[in-house]
Amino acid sequence: MQEQAPIYFDEQGYASLNDYLAEQQPSKVVIFVDDNSEDHCLSHFLKQVTFEQEPITIAIPPGENEKHMGTCMALIIELTNQNLDRKSLLINLGGGVITDLGGFVASIYKRGIPYINVPTSLLAIVDAAIGGKTGVDLEHLKNQIGVINQSQMVLIDENYLKTLPKKELHSGFSEMIKHGLVSSQEHWEAICSAAKDDSVSPHALIKDSISVKHAIVEQDPNELGIRKALNYGHTLGHAIESFCLSSDAIPSLLHGEAIAIGMILETYISVQLFGFPQKEADKLNDLVKQLYPKVKFNTDQIEEIIELMMYDKKNVDGQVNFVLLEDIGAIALDCQVDNDLIMSAFEYYKQTL
Ligand SMILES: NC(=O)c1ccc[n+]([C@@H]2O[C@H](COP(=O)([O-])OP(=O)(O)OC[C@H]3O[C@@H](n4cnc5c(N)ncnc54)[C@H](O)[C@@H]3O)[C@@H](O)[C@H]2O)c1
Ligand SMILES: [Zn+2]
């Protein structure tokens, strides 16, 4: 079994990367970016790192719409044209789209070359860059193709967040809310207070959020059990994200925005089935009301979203498996939920938020 990648911070992170480069002597280094991380993050990154030979930069346009096999093929062709061998290194410098897609290509190119994640969005810092999940979407179906394969290291530098648009910060904060709900009352309370002060990315909170994810992946790297907790809000959230990606009726939502709605719905279901405390559900409602757009779904759309859940990766034998909560940090895995209850959850979202 692969060990989880070490996570390094700030100067120590760049020192570790420089040591890695000096020790491993990669034959070539490719830095994979999107246009935004190239504009805002690449020069800061290059200033901290010593390369024996000029790295090659490959950029793609930004956004979830690029996270598909076509982009992977274009990247693989480019790596081939650049004559990258198996001793080469891919550095993913960007948000979750770059770390997911770059990590996946590194995992399959010539049966795998080493890669390093340098996340630049809040979402990638606290979630996507950690834990070794890589992959791409199949049309509108999220992360339908992929592998779990650990990077060599994750290098966290919060300086990159200075240029991240507020909407994107909020999207990343959604995964931090999730980490609060599935971990402990203490971390959950800290998340709620930070949002009240409109400060969604204080350093200590980010570090704690990273620790929550790291500790869960450490226990269950291949998602046979407890790692499924990190999918809280994602069974309905991914289906909503897929629906919005494929529909003209509702504008596309950012990943974290869709997951925020998913968490409201799945928390309502948790209250109904497991007596999850209503007062904590109310706190979640307040956060989501404050930070994320409200979306109106009609009955036909909700039915389509329910259909889309059939593609969820936690399903076994055609059965949709939810992760639910009995309390903050008390997780119930592999729960089945009637469609009627899902309908009521959407009704609750419509009425309450
Ligand atoms: N692998 C995992 O475990 C995991 C976990 C959670 C989410 N994800 C995936 O992550 C993706 C979402 O990640 P994301 O929100 O980072 O998306 P993203 O990569 O699209 O980044 C969001 C936006 O911010 C821009 N950006 C990134 N860094 C910037 C910076 N420093 N300054 C200015 N702009 C910057 C990007 O160009 C993009 O426009 C989804 O595809 C989701 O499925 C994966
Ligand atoms: Zn997510």
Last residue in a domain, options 139, 163, 187 = 163
The mean pLDDT value for 22-43 works out to: 98
What is the β-pairing status of strands 141-148 and 133-138?
Answer: antiparallel
Annotated active-site residue 86? The verdict is: no
| Residues 159 and 195 reside in one and the same domain | no
Of the candidates 88, 62, 128, the residue with the CA atom closest to the CA atom of residue 71: 62
What pLDDT, on the 0 to 100 scale, is given for residue 315?
80
Please write the tens of the pLDDT for every residue from 188-208: 999 999 987 777 778 889 999
Ligand 1 residue neighbourhood (C-beta within 6 Å): 34, 36-37, 40-41, 62-64, 67, 94-98, 100, 120-121, 123-124, 127-128, 131, 133, 142-143, 160, 163-164, 168, 171, 175, 255
* Model confidence band, residue 228 (pLDDT cutoffs 50, 70, 90): very high
Last residue in a domain, options 130, 163, 196 = 163
Nearest 5°: phi and psi at 157? Answer: -140, 105
323 vs 313 pLDDT, higher one: 323
Last residue in a domain, options 129, 163, 197 = 163
Per annotation, catalytic residue among 47, 111, 162, 296: 111
What CATH number is associated with residue 319?
1.20.1090.10
Residue 11 domain boundaries: 7-163
What is the β-pairing status of strands 154-156 and 7-9?
Answer: parallel
Please write the tens of the pLDDT for every residue from 46-56: 999 999 999 99
Lowest mean pLDDT among 8-12, 17-21, 83-87, 242-246: 242-246
Chain CA centroid to CA 194, Å: 20
What pLDDT, on the 0 to 100 scale, is given for residue 43?
98
What pLDDT, on the 0 to 100 scale, is given for residue 240?
96
**Mutual angle of helices 278-291 and 255-274, in 10-degree steps:** 160
Prediction pTM value: 0.96
In a domain, 1, yes or no: no
Q: Give yes or no for a contact between 213 and 230, defined as CB atoms under 8 angstroms apart.
A: yes
**Neighbouring C-alpha atoms within 13 Å toward the C-beta of 97:** 23
**Nearest 10 degrees: Cα torsion 339, 347, 313, 148:** -160
Cβ-Cβ contacts under 8 Å for 278 (sequence gap 6 or more): 271
Total domains in the chain come to 2
What does the longest C-alpha to C-alpha distance in the chain come to? 61
Integer-rounded Cα radius of gyration of the chain: 20
The mean pLDDT value for 170-199 works out to: 93
What pLDDT, on the 0 to 100 scale, is given for residue 214?
97
CA of residue 97 to ligand 1 center, whole Å:
5
| Residues 207 and 133 reside in one and the same domain | no
| Residues 191 and 309 reside in one and the same domain | yes
